[in-house]
Amino acid sequence: MSSPYRALFAAPGAKAFSAAGFLGRLPLAMMGIGVVTMVSQLTGRYGLAGALSATIALAAAVAGPQVSRLVDQHGQRRVLRPAVLVTLTSAAGLLLTAHFRWPDWLLFVCSAGVGCTPSIGAMTRARWAALYRGTPHLHTAYSFESVVDEVCFIFGPIISIGLSTAWFPEAGPLLAGCFLAVGVFWLTAQRATEPAPHPRERHGRGRSALRSPGLQVLVLTFVATGAIFGAVDVVTVAYAEEQGHKSAASLVLAVYAAGSCAAGIVFGLLRLAGPPARRWLLGVCAMAVSMIPLQLVGNLPFLAVALFVAGLAIAPTMITTMALVEEHVPRAQLTEGMTWVSTGLAVGVALGSSVSGWVIDAAGADAGYGVPGVAGAVAAAVGFLGYRRLRRPAGQRGGTLERHSQRDDDHEQHDMA
């Protein structure tokens, strides 16, 4: 392993919470596709399977930031364990309901409960921030986390689908639940690296991190970015099927993730100068431009090459985004801020998947690649329009909002006096 990464894990507890975070994060890539595979095998109803997967995604978009907000206020251990118990109970209910063919409405209720899964990626990034805030190691840590995300999304669906098809239908979601339980309880057992909580009455008076103008720009941009990812996944499967090689879709998408993974590793070795907002905007524009070759695909090998190149822009943009979240969100709301970005991404994935499906049904897979093209253009447009909100004088970075919050408190106390 290269020197910056060796130095990263020299801190006590870093290896342990990283390993726990990896296990706890795998279910994010396994549960949705596992539920689709399970339900479609047990009932043959792909419409129901897709609706349940969408319910999980939408519930996560609603519940995720709220869970992370409670984590910022009360600590990871006090919040994550009860939240995971809700998720595991709901997952057990979902598996039993599907197995015994209980009413469909119960499937939706349990799926909504599964959506309460905490954002483990935000939890581990918050630990890195507490450990290395203000040092070059934090850039390497965020790069490593981006690589872990890609590894999870390369292998998670393969494991989940493989088990459910080769063993028994419930195997994929069942293993995802086991990974979640082990990962979260192992992570929360590590108290030495847990970020200190920030009770509401002392920080922010319960105001959402989304009130930050900079975070609003990041979240809106990542809704469009998520639409790219969701559309590329769906259209690639449809395109491979039209080419008579549907099974090759998973390999092509793995190449897409591999491009991002490789870029993340290299990006973590760099020590870049200049404002991160500028790098972020360049990354968003690069993702948009990388969608243009997809409009010209003529065969699966060319598609794989085009997606690998497109993947090179993903991880660096994600890494820089997390650095910007740390700059624009008060330290007391860092976990919530990171989760809002993930939420925007999840909402975008759902939108991109749905819209691309309609386009494919109406005009075929070739036309479907227009959806990520349009989504990329929207992401770039939002990035340009919101760029000024992301720029800050160097002396005001890393705590401006906290000082504003304190200034508001001082003004209120003065008025009361």
Nearest to 172, CA basis, from 237, 60, 80, 180: 180
Q: Residues 282-310: pLDDT tens digits?
A: 999 999 999 999 988 888 899 999 999 99
Structure confidence at residue 158 (pLDDT): 76
- The boundaries of every CATH 1.20.1250.20 domain in the chain are 14-198, 208-395
Find out whether 90 and 31 touch, Cβ atoms under 8 Å.
no
Q: Residues 106-128: pLDDT tens digits?
A: 999 999 999 888 889 889 999 99
Distances (CA, A) of 266 to 21, 164, 193, 344, 355: 22, 35, 26, 26, 34
| Cα 367 to Cα 361: distance, rounded to the nearest angstrom | 10
DSSP string over 288-348: HHTTTGGGG--SHHHHHHHHHHHHTTHHHHHHHHHHHHHHHS-GGGHHHHHHHHHHHHHHH
Find out whether 358 and 350 touch, Cβ atoms under 8 Å.
no
Structure confidence at residue 46 (pLDDT): 63
Q: How many CB atoms lie within 10 A of CB 82?
A: 12
The CATH class given to the 14-198 domain equals mainly alpha
Q: Residues 60-74: pLDDT tens digits?
A: 888 888 898 899 889
Structure confidence at residue 206 (pLDDT): 57
Distances (CA, A) of 103 to 31, 42, 54, 100: 21, 14, 18, 9
The torsion region of residue 244 among left (phi > 0), alpha (psi -120 to 50) and beta comes to left
Residue 203 gets which letter from DSSP? T
Q: Confidence class of residue 393 from pLDDT cuts 50, 70 and 90?
A: very low
Task: List the structure tokens of 112.
Answer: 């909504």
Burial 186-200 (b: 16+ CB within 10 A, else e): bbbeeeebbbebbeb
Exposed, middle or buried: residue 40 (CB in 10 Å: 0-12, 13-18, 19+)?
middle
Distances (CA, A) of 398 to 38, 129, 327, 334, 375: 46, 12, 5, 11, 31
Q: What is the pTM of this model?
A: 0.77
Q: Indicate the CATH number of 208-395 among 1.10.1760.20, 2.40.10.10, 1.10.510.10, 1.20.1250.20.
A: 1.20.1250.20
